[in-house]
């Protein structure tokens, strides 16, 4: 069963990457974190269960199947102004990302969850702040997707 095996979280950014590149000055620490997210071309997922490629492939494929609808749901809730639902959706994505070992992506989602609840470093967030954050999560997932597909394919 999937629930019986755990995955170790790890960073998806390479240690040698140096400072992240952004195209404009970030307006807040939260926005800087969103803009700085760049997945490694070959993330070292260090997944527990790596000795079971079929299980690992199943986990990654499940994550790739279930995450896009959750991101879409989160964006729809933001558009509707339902910040509680935005926070719940961010929490779900954060949790599943952490289980797969995508700790940096999980941190982005955690930051959005806090911001939606008014618990971010800046206190209450504006709709524009939250929109920027959701867009950053969408971009970050789009960058992660091909990396995870490649990892799943390499598992057979």
Task: Answer positive or negative: Cα dihedral of 83, 84, 85, 86.
Answer: positive
CA distance 150 to 153: 5
Q: Please give the pLDDT value at position 131.
A: 93
The residue ranking higher by pLDDT, 81 or 28, is: 81
Q: Is 0.85 surpassed by the pTM of this model? A: no
Task: Answer positive or negative: Cα dihedral of 40, 17, 112, 131.
Answer: negative
Options 3.30.70, 3.30.1330, 1.20.120, 3.40.390; CATH for 51-156 is 1.20.120
Each domain of the chain, given as residue ranges in start order, spans 51-156
List pLDDT tens digits, range 51-109: 788 888 898 999 999 999 999 999 999 999 999 999 999 999 999 998 888 888 999 99
The residue ranking higher by pLDDT, 51 or 31, is: 51
For the cut 80, the answer to whether the pLDDT of residue 46 exceeds it is no
Q: Is 121 exposed, middle or buried (0-12, 13-18, 19+ CB in 10 A)?
A: exposed
> Contact at 8 Å (CB) between 5 and 36?
no
Q: Please give the pLDDT value at position 91.
A: 97
């Amino acid at each position: 069963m999937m629930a019986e095996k755990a995955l170790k979280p790890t960073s998806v950014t390479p240690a040698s990457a140096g400072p992240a590149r952004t195209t404009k000055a970030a307006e807040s620490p939260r926005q800087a974190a969103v803009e700085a997210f760049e997945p490694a071309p070959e993330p070292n997922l260090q997944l527990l269960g790596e000795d079971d490629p079929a299980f690992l492939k199943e986990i990654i494929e499940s994550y790739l199947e279930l995450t896009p609808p959750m991101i879409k749901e989160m964006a729809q809730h933001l558009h509707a102004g339902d910040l509680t639902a935005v926070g719940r959706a961010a929490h779900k994505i954060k949790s599943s990302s952490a289980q797969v070992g995508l700790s940096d992506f999980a941190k982005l989602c955690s930051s959005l969850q806090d911001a939606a609840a008014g618990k971010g470093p800046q206190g209450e967030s504006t709709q524009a702040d939250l929109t920027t954050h959701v867009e950053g999560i969408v971009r970050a997932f789009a960058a992660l997707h091909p990396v995870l597909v490649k990892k799943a394919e390499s598992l057979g």
